[in-house]
């Protein structure tokens, strides 16, 4: 494989430094430590050659929203770890367990159980997952409704299932005019996590929230993982 283009690596290194600096400033504002926030570089639509440069620039944790797209890229981008951040169909679950270090978009009890079974079968370490929550009950979005999760989590998805490590909760902020309008969604996810962990000790404290337009607000509200695409890689081609 050819070495990545130097100018591309430098460009991505600078973009990464800018995003990490913004995370650090948001941490300072809210009394948090930057090392407690993990940057997931969302690389959907970004070609694998550019991702080789991204890894060289230090962006080695990549997020993809489609199993098929990730499957085409994984072997071409050595040294990267991959998170699935988009919807997962049951028939692609086995492939997802092979490809991804973590699945951030588990949106049903059924899917959680299936992934746990597949991870056990694969004999791998417990698969880290986030449960996706549709905090604002937006009909256009996937995820558990908060009430649904409060009713079902303690009994239905737990370490007893085996195969899974419940890292925490994930949400997608509302599409809003200013980042600050997304704040209540993030605050609600954090409050939900605190309530749930009281009843379901198997649930970790991870909070995956915040994207290019609102990650600083998400960090202020406690995000442990931010999923940033455009602020690193530039605008995506329109579909
Ligand atoms: C595309 C995507 C992101 C990144 O969005 P940007 O606005 O490019 O930062 C984050 N999370 C999910 C689930 C996505 O699909």
Question: What is the atom index within ligand 1 of the atom nearest the CA of 170?
Answer: 13
- Identify the CA nearest to 154 among candidates 195, 190, 102: 195
Residue range 213-231, pLDDT digits in tens: 999 999 999 999 999 999 9
Asked if residue 83 has its Cβ within 6 Å of ligand 1, the reply is: no
**pLDDT at position 79 over 90:** yes
Ligand 1: centre distance to CA 211 (Å)? 6
Residue range 20-39, pLDDT digits in tens: 999 999 999 999 999 999 99
pLDDT of residue 1: 59
pTM of the entire structure? Answer: 0.96
Asked if residue 230 has its Cβ within 6 Å of ligand 1, the reply is: yes
Asked if residue 40 has its Cβ within 6 Å of ligand 1, the reply is: no
Ligand 1: centre distance to CA 33 (Å)? 23
């Amino acid at each position: 494989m050819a070495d990545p283009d130097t100018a591309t690596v430098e460009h991505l290194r600078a973009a990464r430094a800018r995003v990490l600096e913004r995370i650090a400033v948001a941490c300072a504002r809210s009394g948090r430590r930057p090392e407690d926030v993990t940057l997931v570089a969302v690389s959907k639509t970004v070609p694998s050659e550019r991702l080789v440069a991204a890894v060289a620039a230090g962006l080695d944790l990549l997020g993809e929203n489609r199993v098929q797209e990730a499957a085409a890229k994984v072997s071409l981008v050595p040294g990267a770890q991959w998170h699935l951040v988009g919807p997962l169909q049951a028939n692609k679950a086995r492939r997802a367990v092979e490809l991804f270090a973590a699945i951030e978009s588990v949106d049903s009890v059924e899917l959680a159980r299936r992934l746990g079974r597949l991870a056990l079968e694969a004999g791998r370490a417990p698969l880290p997952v986030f449960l996706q929550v549709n905090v604002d009950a937006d009909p256009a979005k996937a995820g558990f409704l908060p009430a649904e999760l409060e009713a079902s989590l303690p009994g239905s998805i737990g370490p007893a299932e085996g195969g899974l490590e419940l890292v925490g909760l994930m949400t997608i902020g509302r599409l809003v005019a200013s980042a600050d309008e997304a704040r209540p969604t993030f605050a609600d996810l954090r409050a939900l996590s605190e309530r749930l962990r009281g009843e379901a000790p198997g649930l970790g404290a991870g909070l995956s929230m915040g994207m290019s337009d609102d990650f600083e607000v998400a960090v202020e509200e406690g995000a442990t993982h931010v999923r940033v695409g455009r602020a690193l890689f530039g605008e995506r081609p329109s579909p």
